[in-house]
Chain A
Amino acid sequence: MTGPNVVTGPIKVMETRGLAVGYGTRTVVADINQEMLKGQLVCLLGPNGSGKTTILRSLARLLAPLQGAIYLDNRLLNDLTSHELARSLAVVLTGHMSPGLVTAFDFVAMGRYPHTGFLGRLSEHDIEKIRESLHLVNATTIADRYFNELSDGEKQKVLVARALAQEPEVIILDEPTVHLDLKHRLELMAILSDFCRKKDITVIISLHDVDLALKLAETVVLVKDGAIMAWGPPDRILNEETVARLYDLDCARFDRKLGTIELISGSHDKTAFVVAGGGTGTPVYRLLAKGGFGIVTGVIHENDIDFYISRSVGATVIGAKPFQDVRDRTRLAAMAALEKADLVIDAGFPVGPANRCNVELLLNALGQGRRILTLREREDAVDLFGPAAEKLVYCKDLQKDITV
């Protein structure tokens, strides 16, 4: 018992010691020694078949651990009665669910199971809790509709509301975002993140979206090849290298600062030089990567969004130090790269004193008679390049123009 004067750190809700999970004689993931704190969003990441579901099922006591122990509130999970467990831990599982003629309200009401009496009659308090749960997942308007008639996104919300109505300390969700569109995915994650902060519930979830995990989770767990590859705060754990190793990525790259995964253009017969900056290059890089181009881009300052995106699509970047003038050496390198490229694109970057050199780069190329595709408006180009602007090729539809 902690006295009033004892300063307590974050409270440990679940803990595993020497845990090995699996089926029968087949160990799926071994040697799991971790703790989960109160009010945290813990996110399991890993490729399909890595054992995320097996871990979650073991934590929920739906699967007996092969070795080691799981503790819930410092008590051995196996020592809890099923009633006690139901009052502290709720689950949202994957798989098709067809409960029959049950309304969303009735469905959520089932979450009251461990709180109601012998016949399961709902008290005023129970009904209030059900309403509150529906409200917290923004599902009040669908309460009277049959569960089977709801869309995937609505069903998932109702499933989460049911878990919440159980009033647990821990909610375990197995890939709840899998069949959802972007809007519902973000909404669901925001709801779960709210549970953690406002209701102090620990949410343990498996996901496929590395970007969502990076943005919302307090702790990420990387599961790979029968072991926990890494465990910790996402900004420390998730970087280009670990994500590539986790998913065996060789055709895409994860960017930590942006939290996005970009496809790397593979082998290419043509290279394109993109003069960009201020985010103007981003759509161009993606388009070129899709078109199978090798990409060289410059000159871009290292704090520019185009810098990160271009790197993550596997482009060769000619960069400059943040907020500094471009050095001569860099300028020459850019010129040399541009000369070798099959295609030159002006992404329509904003021009300031620091990247004035990019305008000169393009003027120089025009002077040499290069064909340059530009995404600028004509007036804008005339302002920048003067009479040379007439030699630019103005693109309306870049996708069509680059394939010519």
Chain B
Amino acid sequence: MIVKTKRYQGLFILFLVILFITLVLNVSIGSVRIPFLETCRILAGHLTDSVQGAIIWKIRLPRVLSTLFCGGYLAVGGLLLQVFFRNPIVGPFILGISSGATLMVALVMLAGLSIGIIGIHPFFLSLAAFSGALAVMVVILLVASRVKNVITLLIIGLMTGYVCHAVTSILIAFAEKEKVKGFVLWQMGSFSGFSWQEFYLVVLLGMPLLIGTYLMSKQLNAFLLGEDYAKSMGVNIKVFRFLIVIFSSALAGLVTAFAGPVAFIGLAVPHMARLTFGTSDNKLLVPAVILFGAIVTALCDLVARTMFSPVELPISAITSFIGAPIVIGLLLKRRVAI
């Protein structure tokens, strides 16, 4: 027991260090390369006067910090749903959250101009995406209070997603080519739009959800044994189901609103954390998944930005390329099924 606790502490310290290195790397590397030490100096001294200072403090830092938070949100959203559905291949978008967001954005970007809104403020797009995610969430919640079986809920989520998808594709078919291009770019996801304003908003809205999730870790653990056992141990299934759907949808919806749908993080990061720590205990996993989500997402964003600079690759492409092999590798090395 004590040996284990020491091991966990060691791992947490190690990954906190990696998190910090990732942050500094993200800030110093880019189309304008700023030496590592210089980066540290500018960060430590809060120097904004020079060009480099401006690049770091006005552009890169808010972007990196937002990426770190968004990564954590997506990963935790995935963990919640994996525990709840007792299924290792669900992610935060399984309940149709991203499809709802995408549909609303499609309505604004593709159909919006034709009803007279000229020029779309990015913030308005975020609002549209979030309201789309929220709308789907409400539908799922209404259904969730009626169905008994979680698998039914899962299928209803998938179906809602398909319907949203269908409407979106119809909108695309009727839209002008230039608008479609902009919409496709949004769909690929990017963290390029973050300034301090958006960052504060993401932190303010998301942090309560992260803390709330951590406070639910006891119930989440009981859920590892399935709904019947959880119920027999005193978990209020109805309330808990409600909370899980709200928390995971809100986390995923929040990220989607500002960065577009980012694939893979919610699905893969919980596995990476579980296998690295060798436990499914959610008291440990929730913080571990936040850390892992932040690190992986920030590293993926770094690759997306710098690989073919100045062309920026879609973040979802990178997350899938990097993450999928890692998950397969970890799974093959382990004898225990997740």
Same complex for A and B? Answer yes
What is the interface of chain A, defined by CB distance below 8 A to chain B?
A: 60, 62, 81-83, 85-87, 89-91, 93, 95, 97-103, 106-107, 110-111, 113-114, 116, 118-120, 127, 146, 148-149, 166
| Interfacial chain A residues near B217, Cβ < 8 Å | 119-120
| B221:A120 contact, CB within 8 angstroms | yes
Contact partner of B337 (CB less than 8 A), chosen from A60, A107, A148, is: A148
CB distance from B291 to the nearest CB of A (A): 17
Contacts A83-B234, A89-B232, A146-B336 given; does A118 touch B280 at CB 8 Å? no
Contact partner of B232 (CB less than 8 A), chosen from A81, A91, A106, is: A91
What is the interface of chain B, defined by CB distance below 8 A to chain A?
A: 1, 86, 215, 217-218, 221-222, 224-226, 228-229, 231-236, 274-275, 278-281, 283, 335-338
| A118:B218 contact, CB within 8 angstroms | yes
Q: How far is the CA of A107 from the CA of B226 in the complex (A)?
A: 12
| Interfacial chain B residues near A110, Cβ < 8 Å | 221-222, 224-225, 229, 233
| B222:A113 contact, CB within 8 angstroms | yes
Q: How far is the CA of A101 from the CA of B282 in the complex (A)?
A: 11
CB distance from B273 to the nearest CB of A (A): 10
Prevailing SS type, chain B contact patch: loop
| A101:B215 contact, CB within 8 angstroms | no
| A99:B336 contact, CB within 8 angstroms | no
| A99:B281 contact, CB within 8 angstroms | no
CB distance from A197 to the nearest CB of B (A): 24
| B233:A101 contact, CB within 8 angstroms | no
Q: How far is the CA of A86 from the CA of B237 in the complex (A)?
A: 14
| A98:B221 contact, CB within 8 angstroms | no
Taking CB as reference atom, which chain B residue is nearest A60?
Answer: B232
Contacts A97-B226, A118-B215 given; does A62 touch B221 at CB 8 Å? no
| Interfacial chain A residues near B234, Cβ < 8 Å | 81-83, 85-87, 113-114
| Interfacial chain A residues near B222, Cβ < 8 Å | 110, 113
Q: How far is the CA of A107 from the CA of B217 in the complex (A)?
A: 15
Q: How far is the CA of A86 from the CA of B236 in the complex (A)?
A: 11
Q: How far is the CA of A60 from the CA of B233 in the complex (A)?
A: 11
| Interfacial chain B residues near A103, Cβ < 8 Å | 279
Q: How far is the CA of A106 from the CA of B285 in the complex (A)?
A: 14
| B283:A99 contact, CB within 8 angstroms | no
* Residue of B86, B222, B232, B336 with highest tally of chain A CB at under 10 A: B232
CB distance from B240 to the nearest CB of A (A): 11
| B335:A149 contact, CB within 8 angstroms | yes
Contacts A97-B226, A106-B281 given; does A148 touch B232 at CB 8 Å? no
| Interfacial chain B residues near A90, Cβ < 8 Å | 232
| Interfacial chain B residues near A100, Cβ < 8 Å | 224, 274, 280, 338
Contact partner of B233 (CB less than 8 A), chosen from A81, A98, A113, is: A113
Q: How far is the CA of A106 from the CA of B278 in the complex (A)?
A: 12
| B232:A62 contact, CB within 8 angstroms | yes
| Interfacial chain B residues near A98, Cβ < 8 Å | 86, 337
Taking CB as reference atom, which chain B residue is nearest A87?
Answer: B234
Q: How far is the CA of A81 from the CA of B338 in the complex (A)?
A: 33
Contact partner of A62 (CB less than 8 A), chosen from B215, B224, B228, B280, is: B228
Contacts A101-B338, A120-B217 given; does A82 touch B224 at CB 8 Å? no
| A102:B281 contact, CB within 8 angstroms | yes
| 14 pairs, CB–CB < 8 Å, chain A vs chain B | A82-B231, A85-B232, A95-B226, A100-B274, A101-B279, A102-B224, A102-B280, A106-B281, A110-B224, A110-B225, A114-B233, A119-B217, A148-B337, A149-B335
Taking CB as reference atom, which chain A residue is nearest B236?
Answer: A82
Contact partner of A91 (CB less than 8 A), chosen from B224, B229, B280, is: B229
Q: How far is the CA of A116 from the CA of B283 in the complex (A)?
A: 14
Q: How far is the CA of A119 from the CA of B221 in the complex (A)?
A: 10
**Extra contacts besides A82-B231, A99-B224, A102-B279 (11): CB < 8 Å:** A90-B232, A93-B228, A97-B225, A99-B225, A100-B338, A101-B275, A101-B279, A106-B281, A110-B222, A118-B218, A148-B336
Taking CB as reference atom, which chain B residue is nearest A172?
Answer: B232
| Interfacial chain A residues near B232, Cβ < 8 Å | 60, 62, 85-86, 89-91
| Interfacial chain B residues near A95, Cβ < 8 Å | 226
Taking CB as reference atom, which chain A residue is nearest B281?
Answer: A106
* Residue of B217, B226, B283 with highest tally of chain A CB at under 10 A: B226
| B283:A120 contact, CB within 8 angstroms | yes
Q: How far is the CA of A208 from the CA of B241 in the complex (A)?
A: 36
| Interfacial chain B residues near A149, Cβ < 8 Å | 335-336
| A119:B231 contact, CB within 8 angstroms | no
| A62:B231 contact, CB within 8 angstroms | yes
CB distance from B282 to the nearest CB of A (A): 9
Q: How far is the CA of A113 from the CA of B221 in the complex (A)?
A: 9
Taking CB as reference atom, which chain B residue is nearest A148?
Answer: B336
Taking CB as reference atom, which chain A residue is nearest B334?
Answer: A101
CB distance from A176 to the nearest CB of B (A): 14
| Interfacial chain B residues near A111, Cβ < 8 Å | 233
Taking CB as reference atom, which chain A residue is nearest B234?
Answer: A86
| A101:B280 contact, CB within 8 angstroms | yes
Taking CB as reference atom, which chain A residue is nearest B220?
Answer: A120
Q: Which 9 A-B pairs rank lowest in CB-CB distance, beginning with the nearest?
A: A120-B218, A100-B280, A86-B234, A113-B233, A99-B224, A82-B234, A101-B280, A91-B232, A83-B234
CB distance from B229 to the nearest CB of A (A): 7
| Interfacial chain A residues near B221, Cβ < 8 Å | 110, 120
| Interfacial chain A residues near B233, Cβ < 8 Å | 86, 110-111, 113-114, 166
| A106:B279 contact, CB within 8 angstroms | yes
| Interfacial chain A residues near B226, Cβ < 8 Å | 95, 97
Contact partner of B336 (CB less than 8 A), chosen from A89, A101, A127, is: A101
Q: How far is the CA of A90 from the CA of B234 in the complex (A)?
A: 10
Q: How far is the CA of A87 from the CA of B234 in the complex (A)?
A: 9
| Interfacial chain B residues near A93, Cβ < 8 Å | 228-229
